[in-house]
């Protein structure tokens, strides 16, 4: 299946592979439908259906496969077309030396990431612009905060029509709206990692999961820190810090983490995807 130059014939996606991709995408969509549900029962039902489809896809089912197989198949087929775009740019800029090709490849990679991630992130922010557009997830974050702060002896209880307001004995109330969940930032950072070419698909998937956990913990710390900051420095100081971190600091941290990930993880030769010379 290869020629004298080491070219390998690309195995196109089969019908089962396409069906697996549709099921996987639909399952991820159901997770967001679940988080944004205003009805607890509907949200949990959507989440259970998503878990069922993912189990049938990666655990037990007529078309069940290992996650690595599915990610590799799509990475190879999408990579074939993206590599052709990179080769075209190298020819257009007359990049013949290795250093020149690397420079073009890095610029092309970052362009693809931003061209794919930014529209998704902007669309997600638009769809979840209302205060309670992620109600099920807001309730979950509120409950987690209540459990943690109660464990530290803080007088707090949950109230409000939607159960998303933390009411304190000795401080102003805090309402957990959609933007407080950190889900926008979670989607942005995880998509940056997932869409970065040249790294093994499973490595990207693993580090995207790490990013989700990191943003979740960082967001909890950000909200919980409001209690001591308000008592020590006053509400005005905390409000300025909260505004800065919410609108600037959070995304500055995300970009710093992403650049560090590119340098340390993506730059590790063991994590790089082998460049295959595919033909069709």
**pLDDT tens per residue, range 167-177:** 999 999 999 99
Bridge-based pairing of strands 278-279 and 165-168 is unpaired
Q: CA distances (Å), 270 to each of 80, 203, 238, 274, in order? A: 21, 10, 44, 10
**pLDDT tens per residue, range 210-247:** 999 999 999 999 999 999 999 999 988 888 888 888 77
100 vs 148: which has the higher pLDDT: 148
pLDDT higher than 70, residue 30? yes
DSSP for residue 13: P
Q: pTM, whole model, 2 decimals? A: 0.85
Number of residues assigned to the chain? 280
For 199, other C-beta atoms within 10 Å of its C-beta total 22
CB 241, CB 229: distance < 8 Å: yes
The secondary structure element, H or E, covering residue 222 is helix 201-224
């Amino acid at each position: 299946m290869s020629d004298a130059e080491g070219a390998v014939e690309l195995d196109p996606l089969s019908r089962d592979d396409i069906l697996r991709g549709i099921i996987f995408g639909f399952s991820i969509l159901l997770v967001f439908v679940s988080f944004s549900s205003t009805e607890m029962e509907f949200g949990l039902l959507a989440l259970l259906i998503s878990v069922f489809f993912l189990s049938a896809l990666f655990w037990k089912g007529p078309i069940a496969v290992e996650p690595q197989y599915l990610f590799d198949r799509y990475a190879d087929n999408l990579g074939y077309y993206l590599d052709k775009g990179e080769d075209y740019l190298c020819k257009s800029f007359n990049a013949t030396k290795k250093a020149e090709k690397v420079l073009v490849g890095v610029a092309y990679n970052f362009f693809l990431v931003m061209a794919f991630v930014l529209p998704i992130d902007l669309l997600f922010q638009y769809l979840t612009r209302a205060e309670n557009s992620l109600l099920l997830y807001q309730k979950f974050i509120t409950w987690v905060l209540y459990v943690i702060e109660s464990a530290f002896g803080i007088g707090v209880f949950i109230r409000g029509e939607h159960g998303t307001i933390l009411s304190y004995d000795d401080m102003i109330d805090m309402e957990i709206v959609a933007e407080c969940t950190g889900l926008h930032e979670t989607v942005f950072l995880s998509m940056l990692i997932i869409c970065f070419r040249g790294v093994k698909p499973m490595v990207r998937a693993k580090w995207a999961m790490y990013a989700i956990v990191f943003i979740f913990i960082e967001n909890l710390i950000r909200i919980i820190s409001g209690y001591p900051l308000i008592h020590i420095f006053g509400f005005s100081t905390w409000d300025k810090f909260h505004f800065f971190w919410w609108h600037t600091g959070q995304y500055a941290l995300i970009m710093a983490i992403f650049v560090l990930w590119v340098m340390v993880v993506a730059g590790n030769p063991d994590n790089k995807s082998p460049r295959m010379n595919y033909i069709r």
